[in-house]
Chain A
Amino acid sequence: MSTIRLPEILQKAKAQILEEWVKQQMSGAGARADLIKDGELRKQSEEFLNNFQRSAQSGETENIQLPAWAPTLELIADLTRQRERMGFSPSETALFIFSLKEPLLAQVRAELKKDPEAAIEESMGISALLDKLGLYTTEIYQASREEVIRRQQEELLELSTPVVKMWDGIVALPLIGTLDSARTSVVMESLLQRIVETGSEIAIIDITGVPTVDTLVAQHLLKTVAAARLMGADCIISGIRPQIAQTMVHLAIDLSAVTTKATMAEALKTALARTGHRVVKDVVLKA
């Protein structure tokens, strides 16, 4: 494969290629006249073709990671992000690059009419190059999606760790949703931090909203209880549902060192009693 003639062809027939390419885009499979104006499309195409030509002049068309291709890749990244916001699908964006093949290869054929072998060589090289550039757009898509997911995960983590003060000296952590190892350790750290800040001797960990508890999560719970004890605070685990109680016994998780209560209310009652409080109901005296 070679692309020796590519810079020369681009130099010679750029205007024509651009014309064909834009026409192709407006009528082809990736055409989205509803999303992008013709003028804008032409501007983007021209900009890309200019960068493409400059990068191709380096002669290094095998590896698009080389510095010569950096400006072109940057432009592709910009265009991809822009199109993602405008509502283009990943394949429509990839087609933007792929659709350049036809007009470009037509020029190659015309130019190398007398040497069919060279034409095939050249076509294959250009085709491979455009494939790489087209696939790069999906990489950009992927990366921006991953960024969104990562950000949402972080936000979720922050939202899902509410340590609430129940009474003087008593804090509670109502856990909701599936616990994975990473989330559990973040939650537990913030619980221990709040114990210090509030000077609370008792922490209630309520797992009513936790669908399953596996060995790893149970171990995290036990470690938290142990760490709290080292700091001088006691934990009560409440809201252990029957299925979870069964799993814990099956997994041979020893909770004998931990105070457990069926409900948050029970746990609070115990916590109040331990901190020397009594809850009394008022008797209404009839006159």
Chain B
Amino acid sequence: MQDRIPILHMSNFLLVTIQVDMHDRLALQLQDDLTSKISATGARGVLIDISSLEMVDSFIGRVLGNISSMSRVLDAKTVVVGMQPAVAITLVELGLSLPGILTALNVAKGMELLSRD
């Protein structure tokens, strides 16, 4: 199994595309990697593309929330893009509406959101 998700650094932003079925350690590793990379690069925004993710459970949801809060502390915005309808319906039913997280329909709209202000 893969043990790291690659992080792309593009001008002021960090880009992550999650394409594998993440096991818990991998999600926590991503959380660590992203926070250290934000502080190392001084990135102003983080975009996490989850359009190929077929499931988000409470653990992954919590990790996404953590990344969002931690980046805010480091003065960077995080936007989660491309969540599938079935995944969104399931998350809401599970009782997780991730209130602190910014979302966008796709990468282009997510970049637009990060570039604002």
Contact = CB atoms under 8 A, between A and B. Distances in A.
Interface of A: 188-189, 192-193, 195-196, 199-201, 223, 226-233
A199 B110 CA distance: 12
Interface in B61-104: 81-85, 87-89, 91-93, 97-98, 103-104
Given A229-B97, A230-B83, A230-B97, A201 B89 contact: no
Contact of A201 (B81, B87, B98, B109): B109
Among B81, B98, B105, which residue has the most Cβ atoms of chain A within 10 A? B105
B37 to A, nearest CB: 23
Interface residues of B, number: 19
B85 A227 contact: yes
Given A196-B85, A223-B89, A230 B105 contact: no
A227 B91 contact: yes
Contacts, number: 56
Contacts of B58: none
Given A195-B105, A199-B106, A232-B109, A226 B92 contact: yes
B83 A232 contact: yes
Contacts of B82: 231-232
Contacts of A227: 85, 88-89, 91-92
Given A223-B93, A230-B88, A231-B105, 11 more contacts: A189-B89, A192-B85, A192-B88, A196-B85, A226-B97, A227-B91, A230-B91, A230-B98, A232-B82, A232-B109, A233-B105
A170 to B, nearest CB: 13
Contact of A193 (B85, B98, B105, B110): B85
A225 to B, nearest CB: 9
Contacts of A196: 84-85, 105
A228 B92 CA distance: 10
A94 B98 CA distance: 61
A196 B93 CA distance: 20
Contacts of B110: 232
Ranked 9 nearest A-B pairs via Cβ? A192-B85, A227-B88, A232-B104, A232-B103, A230-B88, A232-B105, A226-B92, A226-B97, A227-B92
